[in-house]
Amino acid sequence: MKKKSLRSKVYTSLRSDIISGKLSGGTRITENFIANSLGVSRTPVREALQKLTQEKLLVAIPKAGYLIEDLSDYDIQDLFENRMQIEQIAFQKASQNITPEELKILDDNLENTKAAIKSGNNFQVTELDIAFHEIIYKAARSKTLFRVCKNLSDLTVKYRYWLNLIPNLSNESLKHHIMIYQSILSKDTQKLSQALLQHAQYANIHIVGVMKKQRSDAFSKEDF
């Protein structure tokens, strides 16, 4: 195992807390607070916070710390909508360039997802969801598209995690993945386009309700 810098440890830890909702949107944090919590100096913390700020997971408030980014419903829908549009480009290219080995990995991913849903391992469901998309990004054979898609994927992770907490929705998502897989397998451009559209629309339909629940949960946790 590679030895990691404190900066990257702080980054990973903080990022996972933000994505999981442990640090909920709107929460204010400071360099010292994080440094003390993790028992390191401010230097690696600063650098991790700056990276997260650049990735839009945090917002820097001049001379007053940082806030956990809290997207409005409108911005979340914008994010999902346009991520899908850009994924359309990547997925179409992927369907031209994907190898049998990669198709096999996708197939395995679907099987594992089915099992994870059955066993109720929500964290793993989301991890597999992310992996599914990422395999296809890679198969597009474009550094540019990979980078952009990965970045947008990161921004949606938090919300996808919450969506997958609802069993019906993770099942629905799996169905879409299967449809996407089959479209790529048969190189059916039309069907692929439609499957992706459906995949994004289902998120857009449900995300508002999920966000409302998430916010009220965070609120009551705060109060009592």
Binding site for DNA (CB under 7 A): 3, 5-7, 30-32, 40-44, 46-47, 60, 62-66
Task: Tell me the β-bridge partners of 135.
Answer: none
Binders of a copy of itself in range 96-125 (CB under 8 A): none
For 30-44, b where at least 16 C-beta lie within 10 A, e where not — what string?
ebeebbeebebeeeb
What are residue 65's DSSP bridge partners?
61
Please say which residue, 16 or 32, places its beta carbon nearer to DNA. 32
Site residues (CB under 8 A) for a copy of itself, limited to 133-162: 142-145, 147-148, 151-152
Find the shortest distance in angstroms from Cβ 56 to a copy of itself.
8
Q: Work out which of 47, 102, 127, 154 binds a copy of itself, going by CB under 8 A.
A: 47
Of the residues 13, 25, 35, 51, which one makes contact with a copy of itself according to CB under 8 A: 51
Per CB under 8 A, does 193 bind a copy of itself? Answer: no
The pair of structure tokens assigned to 87 is 């994924």
Task: Report the residue number, 49 or 195, with the smaller CB distance to DNA.
Answer: 49
Write out the residues near a copy of itself by the rule CB under 8 A. Answer: 46-47, 50-51, 54, 56, 75, 78-79, 81-83, 85-86, 89, 142-145, 147-148, 151-152
